[in-house]
Structure 1
Amino acid sequence: MNDTQFHPSTRREFLKSAGTTALGGALAGAVSFPHVLSGAPNTETLRIGLVGCGGRGTAAAFQALTADKNTVLVALADVFDERLQKSLGTLRKQVPERVKVDQAHCFLGFDAYRRVIASDVDVVLLATPPAFRPQHLKTAVDAGKHSFAECIAAVDAPGIRSFLRSSETAASKNLGILSGFCWRYDNSARAALQQMRAGAIGKIRAIYATYYRQSFTLHYGKQRRPGETDLQWQIRDWPDFLWLGGDLCIGLSGGHSVDKMSWWMNDVMPNKALGVGGRQFPGEGNTFDHAQIIYEYAEGVRGFLGVRCHDGCHNENADYIIGADGVCTIGRGVAPSITGARPWRFTEKRNRMHQTEHDEFFASIRSGRPINDGRRMAHTSLMTLMGRMAAYTGQEITWEQALNSQEQLVPDNLGWNTKIQLTPPPQPGRTKFF
C-alpha cells in the first residue's frame, strides 16, 4: 500500500485523502441518513474561518469548535469592527483554548471574506446576510475550502443559479457544504420521517406548515445612526430590506418550514405556487411580515405555508403532514406524534440540531466523504423565492419561472458610498414579475 496514504506531505493533502469510514448511526428500514458518519481518528487540526460575525455566525463558530476535538478558529471577517470584536470576545470566553486569532487575521471590509478564504483555513463559516452568500460560496469552493452556509442560499434567482453551480463544483472537488437549514439534523424529525416512510400515515395528501413568530423589525431592526451612509444603515438593519435578506418572514422562517416540506415530499419540488401576504408594521423596509403560500405538487398534493412575524400574537412552528391513513404532527417543544391507523409518539430525548449538524459535518470531513447539502439548500431557497414572488405579485409562479427569473436584487461592486435604489413595498396585482 502506498505510504503516502498515511503520511501525506501537506495538511491539504491529508484532508483530501482521509480514509473513508463505515456508516455510523444509519437508520434501518425504509429511510437512512448516509451522512451520519464516524470520524476517522487523526491528529490533524482543522482550521476554521468565520465570515459574518453577528449572533448566528458567532453561534455557528462555537458549534464548529465544539464539534471536533481538534479544531481552531484562526480568522474572522466582517464589515463592522465592533461586531467582529464582540464575536471574538464571546468566543474567547466560551472556548478560549480553541481561539487562535491574532489581529492580523481580523479582516474588515467588503473584500474581507476573500482574505479569510485565502488564509490557511480548511473550513469557512459563511454567516453574513444572504445577499452575499452566492459570491462567498463561489470564492470558498474555487479556493478548495469546505463551507458552512447559513440560510438562505440567495435572495434572487441569479444568486440561486450561482449557488447551484458552486454546489456542483464542490461535489466534483469532494468539498463539503453544510446547510443552515438545520431541521434535517433533528433526531425527532428524523424518527417521524422514518415512521412516515414505513407507511404509518399512508400516502401524503397535503402538508400544512406554520411559522408564527415575533417581529423581525421590532426585535432585530436598527435605527439609522447619525452620519451613516445608506449602505451602512441597511446592512445593520438588513432583516428589513429585500435585497439583503430576501424577506426573512417568507425566506428565513418560511425556509425552515419548506425545507421540511421538501423532506417529507422526498425532495420532489412543487410545480407552482400561489400566495397572499402584506406588511402590517409600517416601519422601514420593503418586505412582508405575513404571508400564506400554497405550493402545488404533482398528482394534486398541496403544501400550505403560513408565516407571520408579529408581536403579541400566538407563536407556533409546526408541521401537519396529512396522509391517507393518519396525520403526523411535528412542532417545536412538542414531541412528534402520529394519529390514525398506526399511532406513534416520539419518546426519546431531543438532540440539539444546530450542534448535531456540525458534529456530523466535521465527522464527514474526517471520513473523506464530506456532506454536501448545497443542491437541496438551493432548491429550498428557490421554493421560498417562488412563494415570495407569488405573494408579492399576486400571480401564479411556476418552478421554471422562478428558477429563470432575471430579477437581480444585489448591486454589483458594493462600496460604502454605493447608492441603493430601494424597490417600494410590494403591492400584489401591481408588483411585476421579472
Structure 2
Amino acid sequence: MKGSKKVARTQDKAMKSSRRGFCKNTALLTAGMVLPTMEMGAMVNVLNDKKLKIAVVGCGGRGTGAANQALKADDNVELVAMADAFKDRLDGSYANLEKAYAGTNKVNVKDKHKYVGFDGYKKAIDQADVVILATPPGFRPHHFEYAVNNGKHVFMEKPLATDVPGIRKVLEMAKVAKEKKLNVVVGLQRHYQNNYLAIAERIKAGDAGKIVSGQVYWNSAGVWVRERTPGQTEMEYQMRNWYYFNWLCGDHILEQHIHNIDVANWFLGEYPVSAQGMGGREVRNGKDHGEIFDHHFVEFTYPSGAVISSQCRHQPGTWSKVGEVFQGTKGLVDMKDAGRASIVDFEGNTIFEHRGKNDPNPYQVEHDKLFASIRNKGVISDTENGAKSTMSAILGRMATYTGKVVTWEEAMKSEELLVPAEMDWNSTPPTLPDANGNYPVPVPGKA
C-alpha cells in the first residue's frame, strides 16, 4: 500500500491545472501505471447512497481519463458499460482501468456490455445512470440527444458539435435536460479552475473596469498523426485520424482553441456578434493532415463593442502560448500558467493576484461537482454555454475559411451538415481524397 500511495501522490502532484499536466497523467493511465487514490474525498450524501452506474462512450485517452476521474469522484459508483468504434481501443481502456481499480469493485464491465461500432453508444447508455461522452465531437449531438431522452446525467467533452445543425440540436436538448432536472457538465474545465473562478469574480466586482479588448491563444506544435495502414478502409483511416477531418473534429480552432474563446465569452459575459479573420496551411499541409488549417487568426466583435483577437497555431518551432490576456478600463488581466492569474493597473500596481500552487485539479473537480450535485438532487447545466462557445469557435472557422465577415445571426441559419445522421463501417465518409490522395482544403474567397 505504501507504493500505491506514493504513486498516487506523485500523480496528484503532476496533475495540476495545465492541459499538459492532464495529458501526461492520461499517458500514464494508458500505460496502466496510474493507481486510484484510496482517500478519495468522497462526496456521498448519506441520504442518497444509491450506487451510480457509469457508462463511457469513447474510450480514447480523454474517455479513459474522464472515467478515471468519475470513479474517483464518489465512493459508491461502478463502471458498467463501455462503447467505442474500435475494439482495440475499448479493450486497452478497460484493461488499464481494471488494473488501476483492482480490489475496489468499481470497474465491472461484463463482456456483453462492451459495445463496438457506431451504434454501440445506445446500448452502453441504456445500462447507466451517468454517461461520459468522449468520442470525436462530430458524434456529440446525437449521443447527447439519446442520453437526455433516456434520462441520464451527462459529462461530455468539448466541443459539443462540428456544424451548426449539431449546435441547434444540442441547444434543443439543453432545454429538455433542464426540464428533466438532469445534471450536465461540459469539459470546459476552466469554469472549475480556481484561478479563472477568482478572476471572474474580480472582473464582476469591477476590479479591472470594463473589458474592452483581449488576446486569446492556443499556439503549439500540434498533435499526433496516425499513418495509413495496408488494407485500411477510408472510413477507418479517417476515424483513426479524426483530428484532421472537419466532420469529426471541426478543425483545431474548435477542438482546442474553444477553451480560450470560451474564457473570453465568460469574462465579457456575452457571445460574439461577428467574426472576421484569416488562416491556412503553411507547415502542416501533407496528405496525412486531412483538410484542416494549421493556423487561424480571428477578430471577434461583441455586443458591448469589445474586440477579442484570437490566435491558434500548430507549427513546430514557433512561439508557443496557451492562455488569455484582457485589457479593462482600470487594468490588465493576465491568466498565467501554473494556475496563477493577476489584475494589474496601468501604473504596474497589483490589484489582485491568485497563486495556484495548491489548487485542485480542475479535471477532477468537474466530476466531483457533478456527482455531488447528483447526490444532493441539484442541477448543473453547462450545456447552453458549452453550445454557444462551440458556436463561437465555429463562427471563427467560418470567417477564416471564407475570408469574410460572418455574423452570429447568419451563421446560426447555416444548414451545412457535416455529420450524417446514420453511419456505419460501410458508409462513405463525407470528405474523400482525390486521385493523388489529397483532401479538399478550404480556400478563402472561394469557400
Same fold by TM-score, threshold 0.5 exceeded? yes
Kept in 2, the 8 Å contact 1:335–1:345? The answer is yes
Find the counterpart in structure 2 of residue 371 from structure 1.
380
User: Contact (CA 8 Å) 2:203, 2:209: kept in 1 or not?
Assistant: yes
String of CA shifts for 1:91-122, please: whole Å, max 9, x gaps: 11222321011111111111100101122x10
Which residue matches 2:256? 253
CA contact (8 A) 1:201 1:342 kept: no
Q: State the match for 2:272 in structure 1.
A: 270
What CA distance in whole angstroms lies between the structure 2 residues aligned with 1:173 and 1:124? 15
The one of 180, 186, 192 aligned to 2:199: 192
Alpha-carbon deviations, 1:345-395, whole Å to 9, x = none? 113522211001110111111111121111110000000000000000001
Does structure 2 conserve the Cα–Cα contact (< 8 Å) formed by 1:274 and 1:396?
yes
After superposing on structure 2, the runs of 4+ consecutive aligned residues of structure 1 that deviate more than 6 Å are: none
Paired position in structure 2 for 1:82: 88
Percentage of matched positions with identical amino acids:
37
Residue 43 of structure 1 aligns with which residue?
Answer: 49
Letter in 2 for 1:236: R
Asked whether the equivalents of residues 185 and 380 of structure 2 are also in contact (C-alpha less than 8 Å), the reply is yes
Whether the 8 Å contact between 2:339 and 2:359 is mirrored in structure 1 is no
Q: Is the 8 A contact 2:341 2:354 kept in 1?
A: yes
1:106 and 2:114 correspond: yes
Amino acid of the residue matched to residue 233 of structure 2?
T
Output the CA distance in 2 between the equivalents of 1:178 and 1:402: 26
Task: Check the 8 A contact 1:77/1:113 in 2, yes or no.
Answer: yes
The yes-or-no answer on 1:163 pairing with 2:163 is: no
For residues 41-80 of structure 1, what are the structure 2 equivalents within 5 Å?
A: 41=46, 42-80=48-86
User: Which of the residues 300, 308, 324 maps onto 2:305?
Assistant: 300
| Partner secondary structure for residue 299 of structure 2 | strand
Aligned partners of 2:315, 2:122: CA distance in 1, in Å? Answer: 37
Q: Distance in 1 between matches of 2:339 and 2:193?
A: 13
Structure 1 portions without partners, runs of 5+:
1-37
Measure the CA separation in 2 of the matches of 1:299 and 1:264: 12
Q: Tell me the TM-score normalised to structure 2 length.
A: 0.85
Matches within 5 A, 1:32-431: 40-41=45-46, 42-96=48-102, 97=104, 98-119=106-127, 121-216=128-223, 219=224, 221-247=225-251, 249-266=252-269, 268-280=270-282, 281-283=284-286, 284=288, 285-333=290-338, 335-340=340-345, 343-348=351-356, 349-422=358-431, 424-431=440-447
CA deviation digits over 1:289-329, x for unaligned, max 9? 11111110123211111111122222211111110110010
The one-character-per-residue Cα deviations of 1:169-188 (angstroms, maximum 9, x if unpaired) are: 00000011110111110011
| C-alpha separation in 2, matches of 1:54 and 1:145 | 22
Structure 1 residue 334: Cα displacement: 5.7
Preserved CA contact (<8 Å) 2:419 2:430:
no
Q: Which amino acid aligns with 2:235?
A: L
Which residue of structure 1 aligns with residue 12 of structure 2? none
Is the contact made by 1:229 and 1:417 (CA closer than 8 Å) also made in structure 2?
Answer: no
**What's the Cα RMSD here?**
1.5
Paired AA for residue 299 in structure 1 = S
For normalisation by structure 1, the TM-score amounts to 0.87
Partner letter of residue 262 of structure 1? N
Preserved CA contact (<8 Å) 2:69 2:364: yes
How many residues are paired up? 389
Aligned CA distance change for structure 1 residues 150 and 299 (closer, same or farther; 3 Å): closer
